[in-house]
Amino acid sequence: MKPPFKPQRLKWIAAPLITIVVVKLVWIVVEMAFLPATGISQEEEIRGKPLYYRVSLSSDRVAPPKKKVKRLPVASIKDITLLAVYSAEDTTVVTVMHKRHTSVLSRGESINGFTLEGAGSNYATFSKNGQHYRIDLTEEKKGAGSGTIQVLPHSSSSQSEVSTEERGEIIDAGDHKIIERSLFEHFTKNMDDVYKDIGIGESRKNGKVQFKITFVKRGTPFAKLGIRRGDILKSVNGQEIDSYNTAFNIYKNIGNTENLTLVILRGKEEMELNYEIN
């Protein structure tokens, strides 16, 4: 039987294959021995611009909510209620309520941006930005918030600059005290000096206004009168002090009195303080 391939032809085919295998093995050895361990990326060498761009059709980011601008309320004269008025030749003092708090203002002082310009027997005038406003007196409303009678600015009148010695003295006569009339008249005409020496705060009990002494300066005539911090003023000469109007009316008409009886509540004890004006 004749073989399909001649041995001579097999040698011709095997020789190139063996040569290729040997060359491949030699290349592998050379590569492992001499070429670097890491290759060079052709992509890193070419720093050209990419031919494509990433486009985001939808964003995962949520836009921050817009902050709402809080508008401050515009000051209005209607927010101020006039509770009491004291108007003399050189002194104007009013009591007003704003946001359920009461304040005592003298001429030139401001509240809620409105400046007190003057007052009549039953009204007060205010100004703001060149405009003038009038508020008529109204009765105090029940349930109004508490406030404090504030210290008023120093008076520019010459009478307020007189020393205590020239004003007069207070003499202790045992069961009562004697107030020299010059001192008494000074305080009835200079209300701002009253509030420099004594503080009066307002509170409410059972729907009624009460006036409580918040401080008394040492060495002042009011300290010599025997009034103490924490005392609650009940009445003057039998007239109950239950509102700012009542207090101002007593103050306005007290100048000609010769005797003064002040009823106070000290703790749980009601006391009577008697004074002679001489």
Are 205 and 270 part of one and the same domain?
yes
Same domain, 98 and 191: no
> Is the overall model pTM greater than 0.75, yes or no?
no
**Owning domain of residue 122:** 77-136
Give the alpha-carbon dihedral of 142, 143, 147, 149, to 10 degrees: 20
Q: What is the pLDDT of residue 185?
A: 85
Q: Domains in the chain: how many in total?
A: 2
pLDDT digits (tens, 9 = 90+) for 217-267: 999 999 999 999 999 999 999 999 888 778 878 887 787 788 999 999 999
Among 160, 165, 151, 138, residue whose Cα is nearest residue 244: 138
CA distance 247 to 239: 9
- Three-state secondary structure string covering 136-196: EECCCCCCCCCCECCCCCCCCCHHHHCCHHHHCCEEECCCCEEECHHHHHHHHHCHHHHHH
pLDDT of residue 63: 65
Pairing outcome for strands 123-128 and 114-119? antiparallel
| Residues counted in the chain | 278
For residue 124, being part of any structural domain is answered with yes
| Distances 39 to 46, 154, 176, 234 between C-alpha atoms, Å | 15, 93, 114, 103
Given a cut of 50, the residues of the chain with pLDDT beneath it are 72, 140-165
Q: What's the CATH number where 101 sits?
A: 2.30.30.830
Given this model, what pLDDT does residue 162 score? 42
Token reading at 62: 């949520």
| Whether residue 165 sits in one domain with residue 132 | no
36, part of any domain: no
CA distance 190 to 42: 98
Query: What pLDDT does 39 receive?
Result: 53
Burial of 264 per CB tally in 10 Å (0-12, 13-18, 19+)? buried
> Has residue 53 been placed in a domain?
no
Q: What is the pLDDT of residue 229?
A: 93
pLDDT value at position 262? Answer: 94
Which residues, including other chains, have CB under 8 Å from residue 207's CB and lie 6 or more apart? Answer: 142, 143
d(CA 97, CA 145): 8
| 68 located within any domain | no
Pairing of strands 269-277, 177-179: parallel
In terms of domains, do 122 and 222 share one?
A: no
- Does one domain contain both 88 and 176? no
Domain assignment present for residue 69? The answer is: no
- Return the closest-CA partner of residue 182 out of 159, 211, 212, 153: 159
* Residue where one domain finishes, among candidates 103, 136, 169: 136
Beta bridge partners, 151, equal none
Compute the Cα dihedral for 11, 17, 18, 23 and give only its sign. positive
Residue 88: name the closest of 104, 106, 102 by CA.
106
- How far apart, in whole angstroms, are the C-alpha atoms of residue 243 and residue 247? 6
Which pLDDT does position 106 carry in this prediction?
A: 83
Structural domain includes residue 132: yes
Give CA–CA dist 243/239, Å, rounded.
11
